[in-house]
Amino acid sequence: MAQEGATVQRTPKRGRSEMGRYIAKRLLIALATLFVILLVLFLLLTLMPGSPFNNEEKLSPDQIAALKAHYGLDKPVVERFFLYVWNMLHGDFGVSYSIQTNMPISSMVGPRIWTSVSIGLEAGMLGALVGVVLGIIAALRQRTGWDTAATIIAVLGVSLPSFVFALALSYFLGYKAKMFPIIFDTTHPFISSVLPVIALSMFTLASVERYTRSEMVSIMESDFMMLAKSKGLPKAKLVIHHALRNTLISVITVLVPLLVSLMTGSLVIEKIFSIPGLGSLYITAIQSNDYNVVLAISFIYSVMFILAMLLMDVLYVVIDPRIRIAGGR
């Protein structure tokens, strides 16, 4: 393995196939993990107390038995699990029991994923952009007012939960100043997503800012920067061509796990701004014991999480040639 890794650098073609094999191996592990997760989630939810049917106390035992038989809930757990997996592979996640009775979950979840993902991505981009800019300013103007201001923003953003920002923004900018709607309006998706996106982006912004600053500072002090400086390169070129490039490469790798935190962070934000996304559906499903919906959404979150981790591992190898596949253990 180590020897194969060593030849990678020399022949790009073999390097690519090595890369392909690495990705394939990681995908297989990810699939196996997903299967185990699905099993765990399924078992957990079978243990869930309460009944998924509306007003069960009004139903006679016969009616309940009939409902259970109709939805296949009378079969043994193992059989139900494999049936579920089989149906899922065919794009069928079952039906909702109580939120919208008999509605297929794929059609409930489908449009909502897009809303949540687009808000998450917008927040991610905003956070990354502002974070990088602030980080660079802080690194270039070390120990000045700029640096202190950026540090304060970073500490606040990392420490405070996003719902604190959401509540503050919706009260001051939404309710008091009436600049933005406090409840998501599907007919004006852009203007109504301004506040949630800002609130959601704070954590990403702060983490990226911190990371960019420390990377940038250590790069500015490195030998190759000294060499470039001694050759008399103008400051702008020095910063943009040499320092910034190297900083951004490593910032990309911290961004991916942050994207995942955006997905789950949106749970609370979606509730505060009444956004019709995945998170608000998840909360409703939990409160009404609609366990097919809970199962499907938990699984979707896990898939996103695992994909993001996979992406991050692959990006590491692609971006930074110093980390080699064989050395990755």
Partner 1 sequence: MEAETSAMAQGMRQDEDAKLFRLSTERHEEADSREYADYSYARETLGRFLANKGATIAVVIIFAIVVLAIVCPMLSPYTYYDVDSSQANLLPRMPGLEQLGIFDGTRNGIDYYAAQGVPDAYHYFGTDSLGRDIWTRVWCGTRISLAIALVAVVVDVVIGVVYGLISGYFGGKVDIVMQRITEILSSIPQLVIVTLMIVVLQPGLGNIVIALFITGWIDMSRIVRAQVLKMKNQEFVLAARTLGVKPKDIIFKEILPNTLAQIVVTFMFSIPNAIFLEAFLAFVGLGVPAPTASLGTLINDGYKAATIFPYQVVAPVVVLAVLMLGFNLFGDGLRDAIDPERS
Task: Among 19, 27, 160, 311, indicate the residue that binds partner 1 (CB under 8 A).
Answer: 160
CA distances 164 to 127, 204, 207, 301, Å, are: 17, 15, 17, 23
Smallest gap from Cβ 255 to partner 1, in A, equals 17
Helices 278-287/105-140 angle, 10° precision: 130
Smallest gap from Cβ 34 to partner 1, in A, equals 8
Q: Judged by CB, which is closer to partner 1: 47, or 236?
A: 47
Smallest gap from Cβ 288 to partner 1, in A, equals 11
Task: Among 119, 195, 255, 272, indicate the residue that binds partner 1 (CB under 8 A).
Answer: 272
129 in contact with partner 1 (CB under 8 A): no
What long-range pairs does 6-12 form, CB within 8 A, spacing at least 24? Answer: 6/326, 8/324, 8/325, 8/326, 9/321, 9/324
Task: Among 220, 306, 317, 325, indicate the residue that binds partner 1 (CB under 8 A).
Answer: 306
Q: By CB under 8 A, what part of segment 73-112 binds partner 1?
A: none
Smallest gap from Cβ 7 to partner 1, in A, equals 27
Q: Judged by CB, which is closer to partner 1: 113, or 228?
A: 113
Q: Judged by CB, which is closer to partner 1: 146, or 301?
A: 301
Q: By CB under 8 A, what part of segment 22-41 binds partner 1?
A: 33-34, 36-37, 40-41
What percent of the residues of the chain are helix, what percent strand, and what percent coil, each to the nearest 5?
Answer: 75, 0, 20
Site string for partner 1, 235-264 (x = CB under 8 A): -------------------------x--xx
Please list, in sequence order, all residues whose beta carbon lies within 8 angstroms of the beta carbon of residue 101, skipping any fewer than 6 positions away. Answer: 54, 95
Tokens describing residue 6: 């060593």
Task: Among 45, 248, 312, 326, indicate the residue that binds partner 1 (CB under 8 A).
Answer: 45
183 in contact with partner 1 (CB under 8 A): no
- Establish how many alpha carbons lie within 13 A of residue 3's alpha carbon, considering only the half-sphere containing its beta carbon: 0
Q: Coil, strand or helix: which one is 104?
A: strand
Q: Judged by CB, which is closer to partner 1: 86, or 171?
A: 171
Give kind and range of the element (H or E) at residue 288. Answer: none
Determine contact, residues 266/277, Cβ cutoff 8 Å. Answer: yes
Size of the site for partner 1 (CB under 8 A): 41
CA distance 329 to 327: 6
CA distance 211 to 235: 22
Q: Judged by CB, which is closer to partner 1: 272, or 325?
A: 272
301 in contact with partner 1 (CB under 8 A): yes
Distance from the first to the final alpha carbon of the chain = 11
Q: Judged by CB, which is closer to partner 1: 38, or 239?
A: 38
The candidate with the shortest Cα–Cα distance to 98, out of 45, 50, 41, is 50
| 262 CA to centre of own chain | 5
| Region from 83-91, 101-109, 188-196, 283-291 binding partner 1, contact rule CB under 8 A | 283-291
Smallest gap from Cβ 153 to partner 1, in A, equals 13
Other Cβ atoms within 10 Å of 142 Cβ, number: 12
Q: Strand ranges (DSSP E) for 64-187?
A: none
Smallest gap from Cβ 165 to partner 1, in A, equals 10
Binding site residues, partner 1, CB under 8 A? 33-34, 36-37, 40-41, 44-45, 47-49, 155-156, 158-161, 163-164, 167, 171, 175, 182, 260, 263-264, 267-268, 271-272, 282-283, 286-287, 294, 298, 301-302, 305-306, 309
